[in-house]
Structure 1
Amino acid sequence: MILQFIFNNLDFKCWVFLFVVFLLLVDVIKNKNPYNFPPGPWPLPFLGNVFTEMDFKTMDKLTEVYGKIFSLKVGGHKMVIVSGYKLVKEALIGQIDCFVDRPKIPLFDKFFKGLGMISSSGYIWHMHRKFTVSHLRTFGEGKKSLEFDIQQECVCLCDAFRAEKGPFNPQVTLNSAISNVIACLLFGQRFDYHDEYYQNILRLDTECIQLAGSPRVQLYNVCPWLFEYIPGPHQKMFANYKKITDFLRGEIKKHRDDWDPLNPRDFIDTYLAEMEKKKSDPEAGFNIESLVVSCLDMLEAGTETATTTLRWGLLFMIKFPEIQVKVQEEIDRVIGQIRQPSLADKVNMPYTEAVINEIQRFGNVLPLGPSKQAVKDTTIGKYIVPKGTILTTNLSSVLNDPDEWETPQTFNPQHFLDDNGKLRKRDAFMPFSAGKRSCLGEQLARMELFLFFTTILQRFTFSKCPGEEPSLDGEIWFTYAPSPFRICVTSR
């Protein structure tokens, strides 16, 4: 009788009001934080902290309010952000088996699909990581041929720099050079710097990385079912990825057409062989779709971070010419002006190594480590992080931790040198993150940075353009990159 009375006497507006109240109660109950969960800004119903920008500078400001461990609600997911060396180390190394999965981020899941190496989890990730490490050892880091490929690309880069007739922005040329190292690993070939089709692929990928850091694009993660049909910059990002993956599929088709399993030439050939071996184990995920995503992982991650690091390096050299002079003096003393630098020279060049490390630290290329997901309930500091919670580590706060670095806000190579001028290991130096989900290409990146940096400083002196004063304030994309700048190049 009571229910019938209510039903007969409530109008449409009342029913809508009650329905909204019901949804609000469901949202509150569903998203109620467990006991001792990290604090954070109050989330909006349904939307969460949608107006909180997901960049490292915002995270630093929130750390000042809520402490070095705090939480956010992004879409329907709870996220914990950890800052400072000690707590990041506790999360990534002290809890090394707790944060090995990747969460499903709608913005990236559309094309990465939880496949490949970077976005996969569980058995697929384990098998692909094992395969990729083996490939890098066989075709990359463990073979003298890769050092030779990098050295040859250094020559091409120097030729391109020498061909410039005046001040220029080095970004595109550096991107071409670094991407060719990855291209040799993936496709068994390099591309000419004037290859318009390949240059367009690189441009599209750079644009994707820029767009991925945009707050407007990240709105897609809140309501993907809605934004899928709404125009905006996220659609541009998806269109770019479609063209890039079409290019990768074309390269894979070429390899399949003339594939010789007894004579693997590169990553694609080796992956095709692994597909044959793993036919009886479909759960391992070795298939064409995973191959496309794995190539995209290597092409994107392997190119962008190293290119951006070298851009920071050139910027710092023209801003701090006295440091450039010291690097060149060490190059002249150890290598000279005739012989090309090799990896064997590293051990005798502590100052150059310290400068490269400081470029990575101060450049802060990947300020927020790729998100991970707790595979079980765990504790960080004094807070509980439940299973399924997304974890983001503020690597910028580690590289700039005042408790770990003498002058964190200053470009200072002495951070990596002891009193005797020997290279000093610093535990808080985590540009590649740490733990089981740290960057697979760390050793390759270190090879590239040393060989490219020493070669160009052996051949050239870099300086500011007359009347121009480049800024040390970077641009926040998915990575943290220098604002566009031009350089003047003088042959030595």
Structure 2
Amino acid sequence: MDSLSIAILLGLLALTSLFLTLSSRGKGRLPPGPRPLPFLGNLLQLRSQDMLTSLTKLSKEYGCVYTVHLGPRRVVVLSGYQAVKEALVDQGEDFSGRGDYPVFFNFTKGNGIAFSNGDRWKVLRRFSVQILRNFGMGKRSIEERILEEGSFLLAELRKTEGKPFDPTFVLSRSVSNIICSVIFGSRFDYDDERLLTIIRLINDNFQIMSGPWGELYNIFPSLLDWVPGPHRRLFQNYGCMKDLIARSVRDHQDSLDPNSPRDFIDCFLNKMAQEKQDPHSHFHMDTLLMTTHNLLFGGTETVGTTLRHAFLVLMKYPKVQARVQEEIDRVVGRARLPALEDRAAMPYTDAVIHEVQRFADVIPMNLPHRVTRDTAFRGFLIPKGTDIITLLNTVHYDPSQFLTPQEFNPEHFLDANQSFKKNPAFMPFSAGESHADKSQGLWGPIFLPTFLIPLFKPSRFFIPPHPQLWVCRDICSPSQLCSYSQIKWLKILAEGGGEAGY
């Protein structure tokens, strides 16, 4: 591209930005916020390397509802439990639209469960939840899949023989395998190249999306389409994942028995055939590929990261780990594997699982929503089509809802009688009308208890003797842990090994 073309492109972008900025002021009564500059918006007040911290800091200056401009795009930011709850729960229909998120939307084109809107989203979500339930979502079959995968994971952990190891990749493989078994109909060996490719693509894209290039692409997608950088790898990775899924779909088409669907893909293919003559159907090949991608992408990283936090927290607090295992032993015993229904009889373990999710805060900034009509909210008038960002980190760390928000404390989910209590500010996957529109919300509630409880039934985990264990919601270090069977752990204690200094 020559210099004249670049100058013309930049001029058009500047004029478009100025028009959008000026037009955004002409309607509504927006919340206060920092004054934007043409084209740049409020980028000079934000750190692309740490957008979450910048937005949280602005909420302390402008309040729990404020306006910020991400380049030319106007966004209303909500922080704290009350503001988020009033928007997503009390006025859920008004805030139920899917906001602009180019790093995903420019690939999905609005197909799939994660970034569709309106009737398409409702139809796809209803279908996906129904199929996942039929294949075990909340029923026995997926529980058996998780327990089966847990046995493979335990076998991998036992291979370490008490030596320090990094659990990140083995946890990712286990979680991804369970999702693959539901979607594709079978699990993979841990060294299978297809499984390793899926995890590599997902991890790479999460790293790019959470970095400055991903943030900048969401703000200036048209400009960055012309600029080299790591963001270009996002769409290469998406394409590789799509090709991998498409190959599996073709194999399913060749062996499909409509009367005996084996997995999610078979069920979707059946639905496509049933609605083939309907011109308004949302069930077609692109939707299948994108929905499958959303389910894989949404579950593998978030659930795997939460499990890693669980390991680290329980190593940091060995008394919590011991109490969890005592409760599991008392309720489940040694003669059988735990079942999901055991959870009701294990309030402390349930509280720990919830507190891990709150404290880990794996999704601190929700994907953007959008108001579907001109919306009156807290004395302001937010124009239709305005994007909404909810800071879930400010919900999970709201001192009005949690007694000691900066500390890991299972008592946040226990009442005076040590029975489990729900907390309305618990929003690990958002809340309200579209709280499960992101595929993480479909996997998390059943994965964590069913996966964690069997792991901590036969084993004890602790940090290697020398490093200091530091656990916070952003950084977990060090990356290694040690695993021992209960019998060997008791032998270590009897020999004076202690609990790694904690």
The question of 1:43 aligning with 2:36 is answered: yes
Q: Is the contact between residue 169 and residue 487 of structure 1 (CA under 8 Å) also seen in structure 2?
A: yes
1:174 offset after TM fit, Å?
Answer: 0.6
Opposite residue 367 of structure 2, the aligned amino acid is P
Opposite residue 186 of structure 1, the aligned amino acid is I
How far apart are the structure 1 equivalents of 2:197 and 2:462?
A: 29
1:292 offset after TM fit, Å?
Answer: 0.7
Partner residue, 2:453: 454
1:97 is aligned, of 66, 90, 93, to 93
1:20 offset after TM fit, Å?
Answer: 11
Partner residue, 2:415: 418
1:313 is aligned, of 310, 313, 318, to 310
Q: Is the contact between residue 75 and residue 221 of structure 1 (CA under 8 Å) also seen in structure 2?
A: no
1:147-158 superposed matches below 5 A: 147-158=143-154
How far apart are the structure 2 equivalents of 1:32 and 1:154?
A: 55
The question of 1:188 aligning with 2:185 is answered: yes
Partner residue, 1:208: 205
The question of 1:489 aligning with 2:493 is answered: no
> For 1:435-468, what per-residue CA distance to the aligned partner results, in whole angstroms no more than 9, with x for missing partners?
1211266464222111221111112111111221
1:55 offset after TM fit, Å?
Answer: 3.5
1:28 offset after TM fit, Å?
Answer: 4.8
Q: Is the contact between residue 474 and residue 483 of structure 1 (CA under 8 Å) also seen in structure 2?
A: no
**CA 252–443 in structure 1, closer or farther in 2 if over 3 Å, else same:** closer
**CA 21–123 in structure 1, closer or farther in 2 if over 3 Å, else same:** closer
How far apart are the structure 1 equivalents of 2:436 and 2:230?
A: 28
1:302 offset after TM fit, Å?
Answer: 1.6
Q: Is the contact between residue 97 and residue 117 of structure 2 (CA under 8 Å) also seen in structure 1?
A: yes
How far apart are the structure 1 equivalents of 2:360 and 2:333?
A: 28
1:167 is aligned, of 164, 168, 172, to 164
Partner residue, 1:465: 464
Partner residue, 1:335: 332
1:261-340 superposed matches below 5 A: 261-340=258-337
> For 1:389-427, what per-residue CA distance to the aligned partner results, in whole angstroms no more than 9, with x for missing partners?
001111111111111111111100011111111101111
Partner residue, 1:67: 63
The question of 1:348 aligning with 2:342 is answered: no
1:248-263 superposed matches below 5 A: 248-263=245-260
Q: Is the contact between residue 38 and residue 70 of structure 1 (CA under 8 Å) also seen in structure 2?
A: yes
1:110 offset after TM fit, Å?
Answer: 2.0
> For 1:319-367, what per-residue CA distance to the aligned partner results, in whole angstroms no more than 9, with x for missing partners?
1111111111111111123421111211110000000000011110111
1:82 counterpart SS class: strand
2:432 counterpart SS class: coil
How far apart are the structure 2 equivalents of 1:22 and 1:126?
A: 37
> For 1:113-151, what per-residue CA distance to the aligned partner results, in whole angstroms no more than 9, with x for missing partners?
111111000221121112112112211224311111111
1:32 counterpart SS class: coil
Partner residue, 2:391: 394
How far apart are the structure 2 equivalents of 1:24 and 1:312?
A: 41
Q: Is the contact between residue 99 and residue 367 of structure 2 (CA under 8 Å) also seen in structure 1?
A: no
1:35 offset after TM fit, Å?
Answer: 4.6
Q: Is the contact between residue 256 and residue 266 of structure 2 (CA under 8 Å) also seen in structure 1?
A: yes
How far apart are the structure 2 equivalents of 1:463 and 1:19?
A: 58
User: 68-77 or 343-352: which moved more?
Assistant: 68-77
**CA 47–264 in structure 1, closer or farther in 2 if over 3 Å, else same:** same
Opposite residue 157 of structure 1, the aligned amino acid is L
Q: Is the contact between residue 103 and residue 371 of structure 1 (CA under 8 Å) also seen in structure 2?
A: yes
1:57 offset after TM fit, Å?
Answer: 2.2
Partner residue, 1:14: none
How far apart are the structure 2 equivalents of 1:319 and 1:331?
A: 19
Opposite residue 484 of structure 2, the aligned amino acid is T
**CA 334–36 in structure 1, closer or farther in 2 if over 3 Å, else same:** same
1:37 offset after TM fit, Å?
Answer: 0.4
**CA 22–108 in structure 1, closer or farther in 2 if over 3 Å, else same:** closer
1:310 offset after TM fit, Å?
Answer: 0.6
How far apart are the structure 1 equivalents of 2:452 and 2:15?
A: 61
> Alignment RMSD, CA only?
2.1
Gaps of 5+ in 2: 1-10, 487-502
1:158 offset after TM fit, Å?
Answer: 0.5
Q: Is the contact between residue 18 and residue 38 of structure 2 (CA under 8 Å) also seen in structure 1?
A: no
Number of aligned residues: 470
2:239 is aligned, of 231, 239, 242, to 242
Q: Is the contact between residue 28 and residue 383 of structure 2 (CA under 8 Å) also seen in structure 1?
A: no
Q: Is the contact between residue 376 and residue 386 of structure 1 (CA under 8 Å) also seen in structure 2?
A: yes
**CA 421–277 in structure 1, closer or farther in 2 if over 3 Å, else same:** same
1:33 offset after TM fit, Å?
Answer: 5.7
1:81 offset after TM fit, Å?
Answer: 0.9
1:24 offset after TM fit, Å?
Answer: 8.2
TM-score by length of 2: 0.89
Partner residue, 1:365: 362
Opposite residue 150 of structure 1, the aligned amino acid is I
Partner residue, 1:127: 123
1:73 counterpart SS class: strand
> For 1:159-218, what per-residue CA distance to the aligned partner results, in whole angstroms no more than 9, with x for missing partners?
011112421110111111111111111001101111123212211111101211112222
How far apart are the structure 2 equivalents of 1:20 and 1:251?
A: 41
User: 241-250 or 282-291: which moved more?
Assistant: 282-291
**CA 303–25 in structure 1, closer or farther in 2 if over 3 Å, else same:** closer
Partner residue, 1:13: none
Partner residue, 1:107: 103
1:25 offset after TM fit, Å?
Answer: 6.3
1:422-437 superposed matches below 5 A: 422-437=419-434
How far apart are the structure 1 equivalents of 2:84 and 2:293?
A: 28
1:392 counterpart SS class: strand
How far apart are the structure 2 equivalents of 1:176 and 1:63?
A: 38
Q: Is the contact between residue 55 and residue 368 of structure 1 (CA under 8 Å) also seen in structure 2?
A: no
1:10-29 superposed matches below 5 A: 26=19, 28-29=21-22
Q: Is the contact between residue 40 and residue 72 of structure 1 (CA under 8 Å) also seen in structure 2?
A: yes
1:140 counterpart SS class: coil
The question of 1:55 aligning with 2:48 is answered: no
How far apart are the structure 2 equivalents of 1:24 and 1:454?
A: 52
Q: Is the contact between residue 82 and residue 392 of structure 1 (CA under 8 Å) also seen in structure 2?
A: yes
1:484 offset after TM fit, Å?
Answer: 5.8
How far apart are the structure 2 equivalents of 1:49 and 1:212?
A: 20
Opposite residue 131 of structure 1, the aligned amino acid is F
Q: Is the contact between residue 80 and residue 391 of structure 2 (CA under 8 Å) also seen in structure 1?
A: yes
**CA 251–357 in structure 1, closer or farther in 2 if over 3 Å, else same:** same
User: 369-378 or 38-47: which moved more?
Assistant: 38-47
How far apart are the structure 1 equivalents of 2:476 and 2:451?
A: 18
**CA 65–142 in structure 1, closer or farther in 2 if over 3 Å, else same:** closer
